[in-house]
Amino acid sequence: MSDANTPSDVEPEHEHDHHDHEGPGYATPQAAIEEGDREELAYVMSLYVGTDVDAPDFVAVVDLDPDSETYCEIVDRIELPNRGDELHHFGWNACSSSCHMEGLERRHLIVPGQRSSRIHVIDAKDRRNPELVEVIEPEEVFEYDLSAPHTVHCIPDGEILISMLGDADGELPGGFLELNDDFEIEGRWEPPGEIEMNYDYWYQPRQNVMVSSEWAAPKTYYPGFDLEDVEAGNYGQRLHFWDWEDGTVEQTIDLGEEGLIPLEVRFLHTPESTHGFVGAALSSNVFHFWRDESAASRAADDASGDEPRATGEYRAEKVIDFESREHDDWDMPVPALPTDILISMDDRYLFGSNWLHGEVWMYDISDPSNPRRADSLSVGGTFGEVQEVQGRELSAGPQMIQLSLDGERLYWTTSLFSSWDEQFYPEEGERGSVMLKADIDPRKGTMELDEDFLVDWGECPAGPARAHEIRWPDGDCTSDVWQ
């Protein structure tokens, strides 16, 4: 057991007045739960990269209103102008972190292409019929010696920050690209050289901290997964804790072999909290991290004269471990590969997906240093007990997940990355992805597969497509941050 403080122990470091809430989003996470409407639409990254279909990627608008005649259907497609972008992750121009910015709207989707480094801006004022309004071409990005855009977060003053996984040649180091509120490139957010590898990030402005994780150089992971790259140390295993205001790394934690390929990283939604989690995909573990205030106390005790008072140090500890499983078709035990995690808006549950094993799971994280397994579903993937829904055979395991604001519906898609799909689930490109759903009972801590819900990317007009990240029009559990 760690010596971490639980969220209830954490005291705000400063007063934050929510009476002047004028901007986009919600004043608090609890307000998002209480005031947010049920999700009626989803925007889903959809791509043809790595399939036999010669068509541009698109953003799918999916009808999630059970009272609608088009429930479970893709009701609109925003086709992009070029082929081969490999849409992956995306985000809003504004979220709840800008809740005091009067006049700012959560209206534009920022949609990067992972392979092309092209950045698209989509106006979603008409929620059912968004339109592409602007494109930042790759050459404009390369000018800043960056490529392979990944995580998009708005930042509190209306600007947009994008993690970039490589330099202009697809090698290391990566960094961060900043856009202004007119969707123009401002430049690099951080001084070059702060990190080598990059992937996902999350920030807690009230704590003046940002955390980022590591995948690899684009030229390493683009062709597919190669075990020799792991042995050569070409994949990441570290977390970086940044000074949010200065844009500099304050502390790096090497998670070791137990933390290979740390991907999605989440702080709790409570803005006073310094607790969070990261899923280490290849090692099939989840780490809890937190700021150890006792380190500050010890440093203060040792300090004398004008020495500055330390502000604590971050710690990380493995708290969930998924065992590899034997399979006749594999020469080695099959790792679970937890490729996505998210935290419910009330900070009570951690959800995740084991793409290779075929499992979605939920852990009670009321005590974040001691997660308790609440429930799971075995569906799709290499070992899933459910291998078809409504007669539709599943091609891959659960991958990108998204949870309703009230924590009662969990959705997921099945594509990871085109070349990795081809390697582990080649049928995904032939049949297309699916979107599935589970009903969650937060009070009991249970999940139940909704076998009446299926959105099928195998039936797209141009041919089967892959489906990746999911967003709600009015905020969700993986894009909203509070200050």
Non-local CB neighbours of 224 within 8 Å, separated by 6+ positions:
419, 420, 422, 423
How many C-beta atoms surround the C-beta of residue 230 within 10 A?
A: 16
Name the pLDDT band for 294 (thresholds 50, 70, 90): confident
Nearest residue to 412 via CA among 447, 446, 438, 451: 438
Per-residue pLDDT at 299 = 52
Q: What is the pLDDT of residue 19?
A: 53
Long-range contacts of 290-293 (CB under 8 A, 24+ apart): 290/2, 290/4, 290/5, 290/314, 290/315, 290/368, 290/369, 291/207, 291/209, 291/315, 292/3, 292/4, 293/5
* pLDDT confidence tier of residue 309, bands split at 50, 70 and 90: very low
Using the 8-state DSSP alphabet, how is residue 297 labeled?
A: H
Minimum mean pLDDT among 100-109, 251-260, 420-429: which range?
100-109
Predicted confidence band at 467 (pLDDT cuts at 50, 70, 90)?
very high
Which two structure tokens, joined as six digits, stand for 308?
């500055």
| Cα–Cα distance for residue pair 201/162, rounded to 1 Å | 9
3-class DSSP state of 117: coil
Q: How confident is the model at residue 293 (pLDDT cuts 50, 70, 90)?
A: confident
What does the alpha-carbon distance between residue 414 and residue 393 come to, in Å, rounded to a whole number?
12
The answer, yes or no, to whether residue 302 has pLDDT greater than 80, is no
Could you tell me which residues are beta bridge partners of residue 153?
A: 161
Q: What is the mean pLDDT of the chain?
A: 93
pLDDT score of 346: 98
Does pLDDT of 14 surpass 90? no
Comparing 95-99, 275-279, 389-393, the range with the smallest average pLDDT is: 95-99
Q: What is the pLDDT of residue 278?
A: 98
pLDDT of residue 25: 87
Q: What is the pLDDT of residues 65-78, one digit of tens each?
A: 999 999 999 999 99
Exposed, middle or buried: residue 350 (CB in 10 Å: 0-12, 13-18, 19+)? buried
**Residue 355 C-beta-side C-alpha neighbours within 13 Å:** 24
134 DSSP β-pair partners: 121
Mean pLDDT of 406-429: 98
Lowest mean pLDDT among 27-41, 89-103, 165-179, 296-310: 296-310
Inform me whether the pLDDT recorded for 33 exceeds 60: yes
pLDDT value of residue 260: 98
Closest CA to 416 of 92, 50, 147, 59: 50
Phi and psi dihedrals of 313, rounded to 5? Answer: -130, 150
pLDDT band at 191 (very low <50, low <70, confident <90, very high): very high
Answer whether 294's CB lies under 8 Å from 314's CB: no
Distance from CA of residue 350 to its chain's centroid?
Answer: 13
Question: From CA 339, how far away is CA 39, in angstroms rounded?
Answer: 24
Cis before residue 173, ω within 30 degrees of 0? yes
d(CA 402, CA 471): 7
Check residue 9 and give its pLDDT. Answer: 44
Determine the pLDDT at residue 311. 66
- Indicate if the pLDDT at residue 12 is higher than 70: no
Integer Cα distance of 483 and 478 in angstroms: 15
The CA-based angle 162-168-169, given to 5 degrees, is 130
Q: What single string gives the DSSP state of each residue in 71-107?
A: TTSEEEEEE-SSS---B---EES--GGGTT-TT--S-
Q: What's the average model confidence in pLDDT over 149-176?
A: 96
Mean pLDDT of 172-185: 97
Dihedral angle over CA of 246, 248, 253, 256, nearest 10: 150
